[in-house]
Structure 1
Amino acid sequence: MRQGRRKLWRAVTGLALSGLLGSGLVVAAAASSTAAHDPADSWTVDGPGGSALQAELGLDPSGGLRLAVDSGGAPVLLPGRLGIRTDQHDLTTGLRLVDRQQRTVRESYRTTTGKQLKRSATMREATFTFSGADGARLGVVVRVSDDGVAYRYLLDGQGPVTVTGEASTFELPTDARAWVQPYSPSYETERTETTAGAANAAQPAKCAGATCSFGYPTLFEVGSTYVLLTEADVDGRYSGSHLDHVDGGSGYAVALADDAPVTAQGPLATPWRTAIVGSLDTLVGSTLVDDLAPPSKVEDTSWIRPGVDDWSWLSNGSSPGDFDRQRDFVDYAAQHGLPYTLVDAGWQSSWVPELVRYARARGVDVILWFAWTDLRTQQQRDTWFSTLKDWGVAGVKVDYMDSDAQSTFQWYDAILHDTAKARLMIDFHGATIPRGLQRTWPQVMSVEAVRGEENGQNPTRDIFLAFTRNIVGSMDYTPTWFSRPNRKDSLAHELALPVVYESGWTSLGDNPEGFSAQPVAERYLEQLPTTWDETHLVSGGPGPQPAGDRQAVIARRSGDRWFVGGILAGAGDTMNAPLGFLGKGAYLVETIGDSGGQLRRTVRTVTAEDTLTVPADADGGFVAVACPAAKGRADCDQPVIPAPATSLTLDPASATALPGASTAFDATFVLPQGPALHQVRMTVDRDRLPAGWTAAGADVTAGSLRAGKALDGHWTVTVGTDQPGGEVDVPVVVTYADPAGKKAAPVHVEEVVRVSVPLHGTVYASDLPFLTETNGYGPVERDQSNGEAGGQDGKPLTIGGTVYAKGLGTNAPARVQIDVQGRCTLFEAHVGLDDETGGKGSVTFTVLGDGDRQLAAGGVVRGGQGAAELTADLTGVHTLTLVVGDGGDGKNYDHADWGLARISCAD
């Protein structure tokens, strides 16, 4: 046993452990065990091969567990408490060893995102079984790898188990440098450089009492070794956690979210308490969090495509509600080879399908933003995900979870399962940190959990993030806003962020005009991958360098090209990037740096023996791309090949047909100019037709379609006999091989024939499309009460104890417009305040026709009253408008129901 560690253990446990750990624990490939009478009170778990890491687990005089970690013979983590408490057992003291098993764990897998797509890891694992004072069993699994140490608890009982808390504590020297972040479930607070003991004092506004909570990942420097504390493999069986620290102390204790118990079905394996340990380069390149996570639950990942998107919200928060402005972003993405456009909060269902068709015809896919409350329930997800697939949306950005509670992780489990089933990629915003979920659920492209560009700029924060948050998984920082007013960093610093930070979807924050003003940057961003084969820290660190500044220079390889990003916080300085990461031979290196407030590009030939030296402005940076040098090669560019302009024409583009009737149409697809298209196919997408509809006509294909030659098709569509009135879009789709290359998804060109089915018989307002809708709180709900801010989150419509299976749930003031086509004669509804208001609130109900012509109205209706009948003559009316007023006392509690809401129309 090492002398330094022996002294520490004596100080903490009061035990003289000399000679007990001399032989250590050798972890073999085959399992073995020791008898219960093993006299040792402390055991070591060595890292694999020649690893410098060693974990030491021991019992103190009270029978409490403690874990310490050495690196290269020097203490890194001091002996910290282990143990767990349930509502039935206290497994923090009175423990004795009854069994020990060991094995070598080898992980080999591929990911769809991340700092290294092909992964392999070897970990030594020891499983210790202890008996508590009351006979209950506790398993402790310790894993040691080249890049860290992790442990978890095993509770082997059957049936439900409720964990009330853990004793888990990481102990650091109080003078160890620390980079801490006050805990918030959104992880959007600023990090501070301090020491392990003084962390609370560094955040006085966040730490009012003696104990302060800090979020993962938390970085410490112990001697010459760095330790990054976090957790791995958290899902709905448990909650997330954070670290509690007592002012001046050395311990960082694991605290469950909201200090609330968690209940799971036994047997229970808790999340991994994880310490990534080593040099900064080891930390930056570590995949330990993913190595500890469960394998992928998605077998076919061919539909998962990371990439860069342009995103309008950051530069103009109202732009996602502007269809024309979103087309500008689509056009920019198409022109510059960006595979995605992200449409944030404010988009409208009325025009999104058209935008998606416009984008896909240009080789661009659309990502849509959602508040998580719109996807909270199974019904909401089923409805929305089916709709999104019909529209052709590629993925979703889901926002505002802001919770580490077990119930929220159970929701994560559900939406991850559902997006995988629907083949929708996902980005979690307003979310918790990644804990290995991108290995388990490879459709996760990125996670926010960071104070990103939307929260203002801070060059020092940028440095800290490279050595903390981004180490544990993709980070949705939303970088690169060149035209930002009062920008606090240089152009090159902004350009470097998408390289310094890894994210499967990288959402660029500027607008087309801002990017176009920086053509040197545009050219670089056109080439930028978002997934990597290798990642290395080239130079820099989170603390001030000898010159007084902070730097981070990171190199990432994609294929045979290396992309380098360097950022600096502080005064201008020379940034150095040793090129030892390059392979053998000569490389062409293009470098872009600041020059008099502009970006300047230089090109040179180098080898791995050289060092790239770049002068940087204050809060500046640089980027570079390196590729094997070849005769005549002047740059590292790969060609950007946009999808060509094509034309798909439908004749007629609209038709009217009754149930059981048929309508025919022709389709013509033309490439006006340019190289021939290949693997062309034109078809009616029958999978998206309503139930009972059929389409007759053969698909049309062409192995090659040259410019000017038309591809023609003819189909006949028959309306289902049970189809209610309304409009149905019949999609005609042309696909062809993407000219950009074989790995790209086919280009999708789509137009629709809009078939109007006249209203007939008895129909319900909740089954018809809305021309427009406004609501005092959340969306208007169909066949349920208003609920909360999300869609489809209400309860059964209930007025005066009567439940209505059909109807509309609103909140005053509300207004809904419906096209009744001049074919209907009567509107009937039972109106009132929903019983969920508890007798509170007051509203008015009014029925209008073709503008503001009043057809029916009632007086003020108050909570607790029974339903009132409201009828209106609709003869000759084309637009029906249902209006709810607030009764003159504001909108609180005004959950107004249109029960039944039935419309009688011609047969």
Structure 2
Amino acid sequence: MRVLLTAALVLSLTPGAPAGRDGLEWTVAAGPVAARIALDQGRLAFGVDGVLPAAPIGVRTTAADLTGGLSFVSRSDRTVRERYTMTTGKRLARDTTLRESTFSFTGDGGARLDLVVRVSAEGAAYRYVLPDAGPVTVTGETSSYAIPADAPAWLLPYSPNYEEPWTRTTAGAAPAGDYGFPALFRIGDTYAMLAESDVDGRYAGSRLTHAGGGTYAIELADPSVSATGPLSTPWRVAVVGDLATVTESTLTDDLAPPSKIKDTSWVRPGLVAWSWLSEHASPADPVRQRQYIYFAARNGWPYVLIDEGWNASWVPETVRYARARGVDVLLWLHWTALDTPQERETMLPLLKSWGVAGLKIDFMDSDSQERFRWYDEILPATAALRLMVNFHGATTPRGMQRTWPHVLTQEAVRGAEQFRTRAATNTIFPFTRNVTGGMDYTPVTWVVADRDTTDAHEVALSVVYESGWQHLADRFENYETRPEALRTLNQIPVVWDDTRLLSGEPGRSTVLARRSGDRWWVAGISATPAEDATAGLGFLPGGRWLAETLRDGDHGLVRESRIVRRGDTLTVPMAANGGFVTALCPYTGSATCDRPVVPVPATTLTVDPPAAEAQPGATVDVEATFTLPAGGPITDVRLAPAAGGTPVTAARLRGGESLSGSWRLTVPAGAIGDVDLPIVATYRWRGETVHVERAVRVFVPPPAPATDAWVSDLPFLGESNGYGPVERDRSNGEAAAGDGNPLTLRGTAHPKGLGMHAPAEVTVWLGAACTSFTALTGVDDEVTSSGSVTFEVLGDGRPLAATGVLRSTDPAHPLTADVTGVRRLTLRVTDAGDGKNFDHADWAAARVICG
């Protein structure tokens, strides 16, 4: 809810703000923060009293230079009260008051410029508004900040994925170059964190550029940005105050547009089991993914992320396996798989139909206006389908999680996946990157051998770092061999009702207190020699509290308990580069704060027939039985076809009871290949809805080839590829369809064939109408390093022919197979057992003789 209190128009200086001899000055104040705006000889400057000296600001367009020659016209003031609720973050319920002033100017050729300034107790921000209608092209800003040269600085050398190492320097000594947001400076006893908010496809992202001294200027990602006016640029934000004010600030969210999603009940933060970091090949292994799912179900983790390498042939059934156990599946995608309207309109509904709960979208790697326009397209498309999102290889948070609450987290950090963890860097993030929004660091990783952190430090990261999806990144066996760590992880929330910095200094230590419901969590990490960490407990309500602490001991992790009260001091011995986690709950006589982890009860769903063959538009009679073998009870049970049909229901099922139904299902018109007709049982368990699904697999045969045919001209019944899609009449290329080169083997280009990247396969329908298959096989000439593959031909699952290992230097290898009587022809490529790098495999002139 936004409450706007508009004050009378002010046409003069703010009372108490004296005019300089050569110009005008105004202040906009809220609590301890006062922004100062100056107009001197037609040029604007902005600063924050006592922290940031006034520095030049302004904007240039192709129509007017509004960095000078400005004349003051008017000022108006209002108070903006922001009350809103987040789905993620350091504080779910937000209530902030901002003082806003709009200063209107005229400049070059009578062009208008409004400067909008907002100030709260946490800091100050400004934006430009070009109020004229019609097209506008911005060619740059003179926006800048003046920082005392000797001010300590924590800076991130700029890269478009924000994954460079942070540096500790001073404002003046920092090397000339570009730095990413946010940037932190200590000016006397006050901190200033520079950031930006409300960036979308109307504009471009920006960065700080430093040429020398203490001046840091804003530089856009593009030479120019174009939009339709009126145009409001992003907010230039300075969070100022003591370190607690900066760390706890929500100013970048407060300045962002309100949520565009009315119903956020489907947005569900939580812990995620993720296998890619600890075992890169595992996302391609459905058996291994089911083991992670089983682990997540046993420990109450609501998600498993299946990263790069998954295959459409097994993901739907894996999703069904997970959902029946109360676990939802997240899938990784390269952003180019969703960079066109056609791809989004095809891929997103398909993933939703599989039951996928959310997406990790990767490798955007740009702050350009074009890329922000892509964000503008993917965000409403995913929200409409209720698909949650994690942006990896992405820009840093700029208020997006307020506007689009289904964005659970963003990477924009040099996280654990870099396989080099340093305690000193870890203690910088809470005061910089994580201030502005969810940070997908992927913590708690013992598999990272190159680290100087202790076990307790690793566990504490799951509290110290805020992320709506907390991807715990080690293999699950490593958690099971550390039962005290796993016990703590199973209890930790990922969203918070309150956050308070208790102590810390960037690069040395952090101790945070976070509240979820009636429980507090205090966690600390250090980059110092062994010492005691102390935390005042003045934030606790009255009464007695049980404090359970997990910390480093002499021989591994140890757990300690004590009774505390408000005002006590918690003292925890911390090892060098160590950490701790303390759970605090109202003391009721229990020896632990732990809440029981109760897995979803095992159920069964059978369908008859499990498989069938039919033509498009035909019907299939299906019977289904849903059973709770033991345990329960479960409530609000419903059994029905996913595509619609009269459900059968039961208010309650107890152990040993079943629910059955029968339906006549119709095969979709136009279907080809394997089509699933799912039957779904849902029920309520401990306040959550559990989804159990089984499908009748119906094979819909396409027309068999009537004459000889190129394989690349036949419809695919199924395909998988090691990178990007299988290409028709092109080499493998990159992630997008159709981006390959001509199929070329040893200098000869071939107009027809298939381009694959091992491991890969394609299945086509022959319908027993063909007699032979021929192709020239080999590694495409585009490969610059040695690749090695094998080619295999299968008929109805039976091996028919193979090449053995072929390498980049081998000549093209003719491959033939007798396919008499074969209904399904499968062409498969493997990586020859040495990994898939450079394995671009061509089936040149692949052809079947039919008729």
When the two structures are superposed, what TM-score results if normalisation uses the length of structure 2? 0.88
Contact residue 45 and residue 142 of structure 1 kept, 8 A: no
CA distance in 2, matches of 1:378, 1:827: 40
Which is worse superposed, 645-654 or 34-43? Answer: 34-43
Q: Calculate percent identity across the aligned residue pairs.
A: 48
Find the residue that maps to 2:559 and give its secondary structure: strand
Instruction: Specify the alignment match of 1:54 in structure 2.
Output: 34
In structure 1, what is the equivalent of residue 643 of structure 2? 686
> Matched residues in 1 for 2:376 and 2:731: separation?
26
Residue equivalent to 1:652: 609
Give CA deviations for 1:118-143 in whole Å, capped at 9, x if unaligned: 10111111111111142211111111
What do residues 181-222 of structure 1 show as CA deviations (whole Å, max 9, x unaligned)?
Answer: 11111111111211111111xxxxxxxxxx311111100111
Residue 316, structure 1, aligned to residue 262, structure 2: no
CA distance in 1, matches of 2:246, 2:713: 55
Distance 1:415 1:111, change over 3 A: same
SS of residue paired to 2:676 = strand
* Deviation for aligned residue 1:60: 2.2
Counterpart in the other structure of 1:475: 439
Partners in 2 of 1:411 and 1:793 — Cα distance? 20
Aligned partners of 1:368 and 1:397 also within 8 Å: yes
Q: In the alignment, which residue of structure 1 is the partner of 2:538?
A: 580
Q: Would the alpha carbon gap of residues 671 and 321 (structure 1) be closer, same or farther in structure 2, given more than 3 Å must change?
A: same
Matched with 2:654 is 706
Q: Secondary structure at the match of 2:117?
A: strand
Which position in structure 2 is the counterpart of 1:728? 675
Q: Which residue of 2 aligns with 1:608?
A: 566
Q: Cα distance 1:848–1:611, how it changes in 2: closer, same or farther (>3 A)?
A: closer
Task: Note the alpha carbon deviations across 1:143-193, whole angstroms, 9 max, x for none.
Answer: 110101000001122222111111000111111111111111111111121
Aligned to 2:347: 384
2: distance between equivalents of 1:561 and 1:883? 54
Query: Could you tell me how far apart the structure 2 residues matched to 1:344 and 1:812 are?
Result: 18
Q: Separation in 1 of the partners of 2:66 and 2:34?
A: 24
1:864 counterpart residue number: none
Q: In the alignment, is residue 68 of structure 1 matched against residue 47 of structure 2?
A: yes
1:660-713: CA deviations, max 9, x gaps?
A: 4432222111111112111111111116xxxxxxxxx63111100011112111
Distance in structure 2 (CA, Å) of the matches to 1:263 and 1:334? 49
Deviation of 1:68 after TM superposition, in Å, equals 1.5
Which letter does structure 2 place at the counterpart of 1:126? S
Residue matched to 1:517 = 481
* Distance in 1 separating the partners of 2:290 and 2:551: 32
- Once superposed, what is the RMSD of the aligned Cα atoms? 3.4
Structure 1 window deviating more from structure 2 (80-89 vs 751-760): it is: 751-760
- CA–CA distance in 2 between the matches of 1:766 and 1:828? 14
Equivalents in 1 of 2:619, 2:849: separation in Å? 26
Aligned to 2:334: 371
What aligned pairs does 1:44-123 form with structure 2 within 5 A after superposition?
A: 44-48=26-30, 51-61=31-41, 63-70=42-49, 75-123=50-98
How has the CA–CA distance of structure 1 residues 772 and 58 changed in structure 2, closer, same or farther, with 3 Å as cutoff?
closer
Question: SS of the counterpart of 1:216?
Answer: strand
**Hey, what's the Cα distance between the residues in 1 that align with 2:793 and 2:550?**
63
Secondary structure in 2 matching 1:439: helix
1:382, distance to aligned residue in structure 2 (A): 1.7
Q: Secondary structure at the match of 1:112?
A: coil
* Structure 1 match to 2:375: 412
Query: Per the alignment, in what secondary structure is the counterpart of residue 634 of structure 1?
Result: coil
- 1:503-526 CA-to-partner distances (Å, cap 9, x unmatched) read 000000112211111111111111
Shift of 1:58: 0.5
After superposition, give the CA deviation of every residue in 1:457-505 in whole Å (9 maximum; x if it has no partner). Answer: 0100011101000000000000001354354211110010010010000
Q: What are the Cα deviations for residues 59-107 of structure 1, in whole angstroms up to 9, with x where unaligned? A: 223x11111212xxxx200111100111221111111101111111111
Q: What is the rounded CA distance, in whole Å, between the counterparts of 1:640 and 1:711 in structure 2?
A: 27
Cα distance in 2 for partners of 1:814, 1:454 equals: 24
1:553 match: secondary structure? strand
C-alpha separation between the residues in 2 aligned to 1:458 and 1:882? 47
Q: 1:809 to 1:241 in 2, by over 3 A?
A: farther
Q: Is the 8 A contact 1:64 1:94 kept in 2?
A: yes
Matched, 1:626 2:584: yes
8 Å CA contact retained: 2:244, 2:501? yes
Matched residue type, 2:699: S
For the residues of structure 1 that align with 2:849 and 2:160, how far apart are their CA atoms?
48
Q: 1:788 to 1:822 in 2, by over 3 A?
A: closer
| Alignment partner of 1:749 out of 688, 692, 708 | 692
Contact 1:380 1:793 in 2 (8 A): no
Shift of 1:598: 1.0
* In 2: Cα distance, 1:519 partner to 1:847 partner: 46
Q: Conserved in 1, the CA contact under 8 Å of 2:721 and 2:756?
A: no
Of 206, 214, 217, 1:250 maps to 214
* Higher mean C-alpha displacement, 109-118 vs 752-761: 752-761
Tell me if structure 2 keeps the 8 A contact 1:759–1:824.
no
Does the alignment pair 1:224 with 2:206?
Answer: no
For residue 830 of structure 1, report the CA deviation from its aligned partner. Answer: 14
Q: Is the 8 A contact 2:705 2:769 kept in 1?
A: no
Aligned to 2:822: 877
CA contact (8 A) 1:847 1:872 kept: no
1:865 matched to which residue of 2?
none
Letter in 2 for 1:737: R
Aligned pairs, number: 800
- Is 1:32 matched up with 2:9? yes
Contact persistence 1:564–1:624 (CA under 8 A): yes
**Would you say the 8 A contact 1:817–1:879 is kept in 2?**
no
> 1:752 Cα shift?
0.8
CA distance in structure 1 between the partners assigned to 2:285 and 2:839 by the alignment: 30
> Is the 8 Å Cα contact of residues 761 and 904 (structure 1) preserved in structure 2?
no
Q: Which amino acid aligns with 1:190?
A: P
| Alignment partners' CA distance in 2, 1:337 and 1:811 | 39
User: What is residue 227 of structure 2 aligned with on the other side?
Assistant: 264
- SS of structure 2 residue aligned to 1:134: helix
Q: What's the CA shift for 1:351?
A: 1.1
- Secondary structure (helix, strand or coil) at the match of 1:532 reads coil
Other-structure match for 1:3 = none
Distance, in Å, in 1 between the alignment partners of 2:239 and 2:134 is 34
Listed as ranges, the matches of 1:501-580 within 5 Å are 501-542=465-506, 550-580=508-538
How far apart in 1 are the matches of 2:583 and 2:264? 29
Letter in 2 for 1:242: R
Q: Please give the alpha-carbon distance, in whole angstroms, between the structure 1 residues aligned to 2:334 and 2:641.
A: 33
Give ranges in structure 2 of 5+ residues lacking alignment: 744-751, 777-781, 783-790, 803-815, 831-836
* Cα 1:718/1:337, change in 2 over 3 Å: same
Give the residue type in structure 2 aligned to 1:524.
Answer: T
CA 1:883–1:313: 2 relative to 1, 3 Å = closer
Aligned equivalent of 2:767, options 822, 835, 857: 822
Taking the aligned partners of 1:824 and 1:502, their CA distance within structure 2 comes to 60
In structure 2, the residue matched to 1:718 is 666
In structure 1, C-alpha distance between the alignment counterparts of 2:285 and 2:541, rounded to whole Å = 48
Q: Distance in 2 between matches of 1:516 and 1:461?
A: 28
Q: Which of 123, 139, 143 is 1:164 aligned to?
A: 139
Asked whether the equivalents of residues 849 and 878 of structure 1 are also in contact (C-alpha less than 8 Å), the reply is no
**Paired residues of 1:44 and 1:54 also in contact (CA < 8 A):** no
The equivalent position to 1:790 in structure 2, one of 712, 735, 747, is: 735
Alignment of structure 1 residues 116-155 onto 2, 5 Å: 116-155=91-130
Q: Which residue of 1 aligns with 2:203?
A: 238
**Counterpart residue identity of residue 306, structure 1:** P
Residue 589 to residue 323, structure 1, CA distance change in 2 (3 Å): same
Q: Which amino acid aligns with 2:201?
A: G
Secondary structure of the corresponding residue to residue 434 of structure 1: coil
Q: Distance in 2 between matches of 1:897 and 1:127?
A: 66
CA contact (8 A) 2:636 2:652 kept: yes
**Does the 8 Å contact 1:42/1:56 carry over to 2?**
no
